[in-house]
Amino acid sequence: MGVTTELMGESNTPAPRNRSVTGAVDPADTTEVRRAREWRRFGAWLEEMEAGGVAVNVGSFLGGTTVRRYAMGMREGRPTGAELDTMLAVTRRAMEDGALGVATALIYPPGAYAGTDELASIAGVVARHGGVYISHIRSESSGLLEALGEAIEIGRRSRAPVEIYHLKAAGVDHWRLQPRAVGLIERARQEGIDVQAAMYPYTAASTSLQACLPPWASADGLLSQNLRDPTVRPRLVAEMMAPPEGWENWCALSTPEGAMMVGLSRSYNQRLVGKTLADLAEMTGKPWAEAVLDLLVDEGNVGMVYFAMSEANVRTLLAQPWMKFGSDSGVWDPDVATGMTHPRGYGTYTRILGTYVREEGVLTLEDAIRKMTWAVADRVGLRERGLIREGFFADLVVFDPETIAERASFTDPHRLSEGVVHLFVNGQGVIREGRETGARPGRFLRGPGAGG
């Protein structure tokens, strides 16, 4: 779909590693043993990727959850002075190694355990190295405004630019909050706080089934035990089925009828792919929350698609001048991919250009391109990229604006988009006449603090 650069790092990154991050490593797994030894620096995994050959450029934020786990493991609570010092040192070293900033995901444990003071201190290190604090904020539903307020406060204290990951108002009861969220961002910007956001153009989110569990269930690494404990399960079921207080329950936000299972590992569970949690409850004869706990015991985790957003809200956000676009997806190879996934991994950019630009006129072609290219590169400090200008790196996409379109869907997701003719990365053709060339010219793109 025309991607020349992949930016990673939301919540977790493969490095830096220590025992608190990785846990015990199987001595028989020689690759993991080597990585546990060599990936102690943030940039080591990206350097290895570049050395091995990669078609597109790669860069990454430092995962905020990785920072916390490095110092505290899966423990809840505030860090000690020594633990906070460790977090700040890890952040500083990663910024010097090329991290674009720190990326938090505050609905997932143990990232959810981090407090505002801790995050502001970490963001201060990011700011001093020219990076960005980017966050999947603490709530995208009933607590949306408060969560945005926290992110803005972190920016105010730290002086770091603040970016909101995949801004949205989730759950039909909360759609009305989106105009107020936009207003909150606008007011902060008028006050001189650098707040912007990114989004994907869909009314469904995608994350794991564990996103339906209260964060305390994972504390101290005891999730598996808690799922099996007959004295704990009733509390889990009660909290999952009650209106959430202080945490984000994606099963409730989408409703069981709107929560679709797409990623299951066991062969006998493949019959559930494409089914909803309401279907699961009917098939098992149990309340949906009990059926979810049983499935998590069996599978460990399950990939999900959650239908929870408003199409009208999507259109409104697309047109905001401070909005940028990102897929929020990993990479798939359609030649070998099985099962189902969210179509954003195949169609984010082509959907915007085909549906919202050409067909509906929600935004202009020029504005859409800006929000996919220069606005992103400039935001994260990638110089000499994102524009067609003499002396810049030739990361270029040639597409047909009359035919470009998403072909993936929620029921048939592994379909390549149409309309991308050529794609060049660092001046080399990666796609020509719509076909992959085999070239691997991608580079590790370091942030502005590298080498500092």
Position 298 scores a pLDDT of: 97
Position 174 scores a pLDDT of: 97
Cα–Cα separations (whole angstroms), residue 137 to 64, 146, 350: 12, 10, 27
Give dist(CA 137, CA 363) in Å, integer: 26
Q: pTM, whole model, 2 decimals? A: 0.95
User: What are the pLDDT digits (tens) for 263-320?
Assistant: 999 999 999 999 999 999 999 999 999 999 999 999 999 999 999 999 999 999 999 9
C-alpha torsion 287→293→298→301, nearest 10: 120
CB neighbourhood size of 313 (10 A): 23
Cis omega (within 30 of 0) for bond into 201: no
| Collapsed DSSP state (helix, strand, coil) of residue 190 | helix
162-164 and 195-199 strand pairing: parallel
DSSP labels, 63-113: EHHHHHHHHHTT--SPPPHHHHHHHHHHHHHHHHHT--EEEEETTSTTGGG
Give dist(CA 243, CA 211) in Å, integer: 15
Give dist(CA 151, CA 185) in Å, integer: 10
**Average pLDDT value for residue range 383-403:** 97
pLDDT exceeds 90 at position 339: no
- Indicate the CATH number of 5-203+310-436 among 3.40.50.720, 3.20.20.140, 3.20.20.10, 3.40.718.10: 3.20.20.140
Every domain of the chain and the residues it spans: 5-203+310-436, 206-307
Residues written for the chain? 452
Q: What is the mean pLDDT of the chain?
A: 96
Structural contact between residues 250 and 207, judged by C-beta atoms closer than 8 angstroms:
yes
Structural contact between residues 90 and 122, judged by C-beta atoms closer than 8 angstroms:
no
Cα–Cα separations (whole angstroms), residue 425 to 58, 136, 418, 436: 11, 29, 19, 12
pLDDT exceeds 90 at position 452: no
Position 43 scores a pLDDT of: 96
User: What are the pLDDT digits (tens) for 93-140?
Assistant: 999 999 999 999 999 999 999 999 999 999 999 999 999 999 999 999
pLDDT exceeds 90 at position 23: no
Give dist(CA 316, CA 184) in Å, integer: 15
